[in-house]
Structure 1
Amino acid sequence: MVQEAEAGSGVEQLSCATCQQPAKLQCPRCLELSLEKDLAAFCSQECFKASWAEHKKLHKPSATEGWHYCTRRGQGRSLNMPDFKWTGELRPARIGPMRQIPDHIPKPDYYLGGYPTAEMESRQQHAVKLRTERDVAGIREACAIGRRVLDAAAAAVAPGVTTDEIDRVVGGVGAGVGVTWVAGGCVSVCTSINEVICHGIPDKRPLQQGDIINVDVSVYKAGYHGDLNETFVVGEVDAASRQLIRVTHDCLHKAIAICKPGTPYRDIGEVISKHAKAHGLSVVRTYCGHGIGDLFHCAPNVPHYAKNKAKGTMKVGEVFTIEPMVNQGSHRDKTWPDGWTAVTEDGRRSAQFEHTLLITPDGCEVLTARLPTSPPLWWEVEEGRQGQAQQLGAAANGAAADAS
C-alpha cells in the first residue's frame, strides 16, 4: 500500500506513474530502494493497485543496481561504459528503468520485442496505400498530438536539463491522451545531441550550453501513427551550428514546396541535396523518409540525397514523411554499441527536421505543421528581437519628431 507523501518531499510536484495526474502518495518500497521519485509517485491507492503487476518488477535486485548503460537496441543493460572508438566528444550516459505505459492504452506489436511483424509482412512495404477519409482522420489526430508533445519537449530544453527529464515530460503527456510512443524499447522519444544523427537514447547527461539537440516524436494513437522532429539550440550556440540548423530546416521546406500529385519521389533528394551542398553541408544517405499510417514504416521510400533511385510519383491520398538529416562534414554514419544510436563518422554535428505530409489535389497538407503557440526556433527568436528593436526605434523617432 502506498503511503502519504511527507511534507516537503517534492512528490506533490510529480505526476502519478499510472495516469499522470498530480501525485500525493508514494511507494514505500521504492523509497527504501532509493529509486527515482517519479517511479514511486501515485495519485491514489487505486492507481497503485492497477499498476502493481508491472510496478513490483522495479523492486527486484536487477532493477535497483542503479542506472545502466544501454546495450543491444535497448533490450540489455550494462554497468560498464561500452568499449568503442567514439567519433566525437559525446559519450553515452546511464539510462533509467523502462517507463511503463498503462495497460489500457493499445500498443503496436513491436512495443516490447522491437520487431514489427505486421509491418514486415504487409503489402504496404511494396505498394503505396491511398488513405481513406477514416485513415486520414486517424493519422491527423496522431500528428496533432505529436505536435503538441514536441512543443512541450521543446519548452523543456535548457542547459542543465537531462534528456531523461525531456523523456519524462513527453511520456507524461502521452499517457494522458492514450498514446503509445514508438521511439524504442525503453523510452518515449529520441534525443539526438551534437554529432548524433538520429535515434539518440534519453539518459542522465545534462544538456550543456552550446549543445544542439534533435527531439523526435513518433505517436501511435488508436491504430494510427504520426511522426515529426525538430532541432533546437541549448543556450548560446556557435554560428556554424545555427547555420546547420537553419539550412536543414530550409531543406525540408524546399522539399515540401514541390510535393503535389505527379511529382516523382526521387526529386525530393535533388532539392534537399542542392540546398545543403550550396552551404557546404552533406546529406545522410542511410536513413530515409517513409510512408506512414496504420503502419509506422511502409512505402514509399523517400531518400533525401541526389541521384537516388526512388520509385513512383505522388498521388492524392498518399501520406509520408520527409526528414532530412544534414551534417557539417561527412555524410557517412556509424552506430554506437547500443545498436541504435547513429553518429557522424567524423564527430562533426548533425541536424534534422521532419514533417508528415498528405498529398492533396492542390499540393500537400503538412499534418505536423508548427502552431502559433509552438516555441520559436533560434532565428525566430532573433527576428523577434530585431522586430522589437525596430518598433522601439520607430517609436523613439516618432517621439523625437513630435518633440521638435
Structure 2
Amino acid sequence: MNALRFFNKIQNRSLFWTKQKKKIGKYKIVAPGNITAKLEVPEYIKKPSYFSNGIPSEDVPNYPEIKNAGQIKCMRESCELAANILKNVGEFIEVGKTTDDIDVFVFHQCIKYNAYPSPLNYKNFPKSVCTSVNNVACHGIPDDRPLEDGDIINIDITIFYNGYHGDCSKTFLIGNVDTEGRDLVEATEICLKEAIQICKPGVLFRDIGACINQKAYNLGFQVIPCFIGHGIGHYFHGPPDIYHIGNNYPGRMEAGMTFTIEPILTQGSEMIEILEDEWTAVTVDNARTAQFEHTILITDYGADILTKVD
C-alpha cells in the first residue's frame, strides 16, 4: 500500500500492542506534513562539497582514519558546537512548536556561529535537521506538524564548522509522556552509554553492536538494525561502519579514530519502511522508537565523548 495512504488510514489509532501482547502505550502516529522552502545559507559560511548539487565529493578514506592533533582539535570544536546547539534546541521545543520551527531555529543557530547545517542538501535532504517523532525511526523531514503533549522526538544535529562535521542526537520528551515512552527513551540512552564505556584501543568495532543488542534485549526492546554509526571528519560519513546489533564487521579501534554511535530502539518490530520522500523511515507496525547519538574519539586509554555537554 502507498505509505502516505496507509498513514492517512490509520493515523487516528492510539493504543498499540506488540506481537507478544506487550503494551507499548498511547501516542499519535505521525504522518507526513507540508514542507516549506529550503533556507538559503549566506555566502560567507564555509560549505561542504554537496551544498549546491547534493552530491558529496570529499576525499573519504578507505579505512578508519587516525586523526592528528590538528584534526582532533577541529573535531572537538565542531562537536562542541553541535552539542551546544542541540542543548539550545532542547530549551526551545515545547507543545505547539512545529518541527519546521525547530528547523528554522537550528538553521539560525548554525549561521549565528558561522557553521553550515550538514544535512541541508546532503543527497538532496531539504532541511537543516532531522526531526523524528514517535513512529518515525529516523531522517524525519521537518514540516508543519505541531508537537503534541505526549510526543517523543529525536532531534539529530550535525554541523560543518572549520571544515569538520560534528554529529549528535537526543530523544526529547514533550509534555506528559506515558511510562512506556519514558522507558523506551531511558533504555536507548543506557544502551549508548554502555557501548561507549567499552570503547578503547584494541576493542573490535563489532563489540559495540553486541553490547547494544544484548542490553536492549535485557531491557525489553529491539534494535532497528538497518541504521548504523559511522566514521566522521572532514567527510560526513566514512569508515568504520558501526552496527548496533551482532555483526562481523572487521577491525579494531585505535587512538585517534572518531566515529558516531547512534542506536535506535523500538517497542515493536525491527522492520521499517522508507516513505515516498526517500528519507523518512517509519516503523511498519507503528511502534515508537528512540535514538541517542554521540561522536566519540578513541584515546590512548578509552573514549572521549566529543559531543558531551556538561
Q: TM-score, normalised by structure 2?
A: 0.89
Tell me how far apart the structure 1 counterparts of residues 50 and 159 of structure 2 sit (CA, whole Å): 13
* Mapping of residues 125-274 of structure 1, within 5 Å: 126-185=62-121, 186-274=126-214
Q: Which residue of 2 aligns with 1:337?
A: 276
* Structure 1 residue 226 displacement after superposition: 0.4
Q: Is the 8 A contact 2:118 2:165 kept in 1?
A: no
Show CA shifts across 1:312-338 (max 9, x none).
000010000000011111112100110
Structure 2's unaligned 5+ residue stretches are 12-28
Give the Å deviation of 1:114.
Answer: 2.2
Q: Taking structure 1 as reference, are residues 212 and 252 closer, same or farther at Cα in structure 2, changes over 3 Å only?
A: same
Per-residue Cα deviation, 1:9-62 (whole angstroms, up to 9, x for no partner): xxxxxxxxxxxxxxxxxxxxxxxxxxxxxxxxxxxxxxxxxxxxxxxxxxxxxx
Query: In structure 2, which of residues 19, 30, 45 is the aligned counterpart of residue 90 of structure 1?
Result: 30
Distance 1:294 1:278 in 2: 37
1:325 corresponds to 2:264: yes
Higher CA-based Rg: 1
SS in 2 for 1:362: coil
CA contact (8 A) 1:152 1:169 kept: no
1:120-159 per-position Cα deviation (integer Å, ceiling 9, x unaligned)? xx3x1x3111001110011110001101100111111211
Q: 1:112 and 1:82, CA in 2 relative to 1: closer, same or farther beyond 3 A?
A: farther
Task: Quote how far apart the aligned CAs of 1:188 are.
Answer: 1.4
Q: Partners in 2 of 1:83 and 1:340 — Cα distance?
A: 13
1:192/1:200 contact within 8 Å kept: yes
Amino acid at match of 1:253: K
CA distance in 2 between partners of 1:361 and 1:82 (Å)? 48
Could you give the per-residue CA deviations for residues 320-379 of structure 1, whole angstroms, max 9, x where no partner exists?
0000011111112100110001111111000000000000011010000122xxxxxxxx
Percent identity between matched residues is 40
Return the letter of the residue paired with 2:47: K
Q: For 1:267 and 1:141, how far apart are their aligned partners in 2?
A: 28
Q: 1:293 aligns with which of 217, 226, 233?
A: 233
The CA deviation at 1:278 is: 1.1
Mapping for residues 26-65 of structure 1, pairs under 5 Å: none
Post-superposition offset of 1:82: 7.7
Instruction: Encode CA deviations 1:279-300: one digit per residue, 9 max, x unaligned.
Output: 2211111110000011110110
Where in structure 1 are there 5+ consecutive unaligned residues?
1-80, 372-404
Match of 1:302 among 233, 242, 255: 242
Are the counterparts in 1 of residues 152 and 174 from structure 2 also a CA contact under 8 Å? yes
Change (3 A) 1:193 1:83: closer
For 1:242, the aligned partner's letter is R
CA RMSD of aligned residues (A): 1.4
Question: 1:85: how far off?
Answer: 2.6
Q: TM-score, normalised by structure 1?
A: 0.69
Aligned equivalents of 2:308 and 2:236: distance in 1?
Answer: 19
- Post-superposition Cα deviations, 1:136-184, rounded to whole Å, max 9, x if no partner, equal 0111100011011001111112111111111111111110111111224
CA displacement at 1:83 relative to structure 2? 4.3
Amino acid at match of 1:241: G
Richer in helix (by share) = 1
**Cα distance, 1:84 vs structure 2:** 4.0
Distance 1:82 1:250 in 2: 32
Write the mapping of 1:114-129 to structure 2, written as runs, cut at 5 A.
114-119=54-59, 122=60, 124=61, 126-129=62-65
More deviation in 313-322 or 101-110?
Answer: 101-110
Q: Structure 2 residue aligned with 1:283, among 183, 202, 223?
A: 223
Letter in 1 for 2:74: G
